Amino acid sequence: MSTATAAAHGPSDPASVELPPAVTRILARHLAAARYEDLPADVRHEGLRTFLNWLGCAVGSARHEAVSIAIDALSPFSGPAQAGILGRAERMDVLHAALINGISSHVFDFDDTHLKTVIHPAGPVASAILALAELRPVSGRDFLNALVLGVDVECRIGNAVYPDHYHVGWHITGTTGVFGAAAAAGKLLGLDEQRMVWALGLAATQPVGLREMFGTMTKSFHPGRAAQNGLTAALLAQRGYTSSEQGIEAKRGWANVTSTHRNYDEITGDLGRRNEILLNSYKPFACGIVIHPAIDGCVQLRNEHGLVAAEIERIDLKVHPLVLELTGKTAPKTGLDGKFSVYHSAAVAIIDGRAGEPQYSDERVRDPEVVGLRDRVTAVIDPAMPADAVAVTVTLKGGRVLQKRVDHAIGSVARPMTDRDLEAKFTDLVQPVHGEAGTAALLRACWDLEALADAGDIARMAQTR
């Protein structure tokens, strides 16, 4: 092809214009070399929080209809019982387990959020590598390193294209999650730089997720399929299945094809020094984020004053306009309805002191005490109220008035959930599945991940018999 080669170096050759940096290769080189020993203590701790929060969500949602349907539909095609479905008794092959656990971890929309990009980072990454760890034993330290790296890769790639990529209509959790899963799984498989390049290329060619799917079961399919696709990419690359050398940055690579704008410095800048997992956040309440300030304010007043529903005359909320637009249901009938009711949410916040999944069961929504208090809640819009703020006024039957202004709701970047908050959330989610002792043991294992010789033990503990 000497003629073609000569032509390719002619003056009109696109290769002579300025090229982007070798983003894919730089990333692959970093991934192949990165070690647990180099992770700072705060990064390791945030990795544990991310993992624990993800595991609680997956176990707590394991009985959701979407999970059961997916298992029913795909079990006839599953390979050997290599990896557990968290919170359930079934075992499937590693690829299917990654898919199903990714679905359950997101189906309540209660998992972690990298607020800068609205990526839910743990789903694609942890679902892929925990399933893989059951087949190929790996230490808790190596597992944590892979988790941190996978989250870093997907969030860095997300930073590079957000918000344009999201505005195009992509569900960024699924489209960047494939890279995170491929990177993390590739790390555990010990891929060298070249094979990591191919794994990222195979990930680039399999983005998952349109925002149009929000409101349907297909939304939770996205992180699950991203986990499965990324794992598949790493497994193929491991055996030498070739792919592009520039899957991310090429003219027709992922970033150009799926976004109208891109900033590659976000991907390659300060690799190993800036860790995106430090920006991860966790939802304290199992409902739309717009009513989190109201719940937070009610919980705080309850705890500060030992409030009891029977003593309360009325609760008045001043809220951001979106609160009534999105969650204005005054008389919810089902648990799911309750998630769209600021009234129900305020009532359970006072009575139970929390708003986890148990507070959004059908039973709780119909409970006479909850309904009684809910009907004494009013909410009015204050156009000046920020989205993460609220003003709560509780009037007691004796006439006493208690007030609470929340400027930044718990779970926001300005006020992260504490480790104890995360434990309470975990317990709420897991206890109905594993009971008190089992939940405590699983929680302990999560915090002790770095001491585990075999990270797959956690998956086995998280299953039911």
Subset of 332-351 contacting its own copies (CB under 8 A): 340
Which window, 35-43, 70-78, 152-160, 343-351, contacts its own copies (CB under 8 A)? 70-78
The token duo for 438 is 């089992």
Map the footprint of its own copies across residues 28-67, applying CB under 8 A. Answer: 66
Stretch that binds its own copies, among 34-42, 74-82, 112-120, 262-270 (CB under 8 A): 74-82
Scanning residues 240 to 279, which ones bind its own copies (CB under 8 A)? Answer: 240-244, 246-247, 250-254, 256-257
Greatest extent of the chain over all pairs of C-alpha atoms, in Å = 94
**In which residue are the tokens 């637009």 written?**
325
- Three-class secondary structure of residue 205 per DSSP: coil
CA distances to 204, 237, 260, 325, 369 from 200, in Å: 6, 9, 21, 41, 54
Between the alpha carbon of residue 36 and those of residues 145, 181, 193, 267, the distances in Å are 5, 18, 18, 20
**Nearer Cβ to its own copies (219/404):** 219
Residue 22 CB burial class (10 angstroms; 0-12, 13-18, ≥19): middle
Our finding on whether 325 is near its own copies (CB under 8 A) is yes
Neighbours of 462 (CB within 10 A): 26
- Between the CA of residue 183 and those of 148, 153, 165, 274, what are the distances in Å? 10, 7, 21, 17
CB of 334 to its own copies, least distance (A): 13
Is 186 a binding residue for its own copies by CB under 8 A? The answer is no
Residues in the interface with its own copies (CB under 8 A) total 72
Contacts with its own copies in 128-157 (CB under 8 A)?
A: 135
Q: DSSP per residue over 327-345, as a string?
A: HB-SS--SHHHHTTBHHHH
Question: What size, in residues, is the chain?
Answer: 465
Query: Nearest approach, Cβ of 257 to its own copies (angstroms)?
Result: 4
Question: Which listed range, 221-229, 370-378, 394-402, 444-452, lies at the site for its own copies (CB under 8 A)?
Answer: 221-229
Q: Which is nearer to its own copies, 40 or 169 (CB)?
A: 169
Piece in contact with its own copies (CB under 8 A), picked from 112-120, 318-326, 394-402, 438-446: 318-326
- Identify the H or E element spanning 404: strand 401-406
- The stretch near its own copies (CB under 8 A) out of 31-39, 326-334, 358-366, 426-434 is 326-334
Among 47, 60, 209, 293, binds its own copies (CB under 8 A): 209
328 belongs to the binding site for its own copies (CB under 8 A): yes
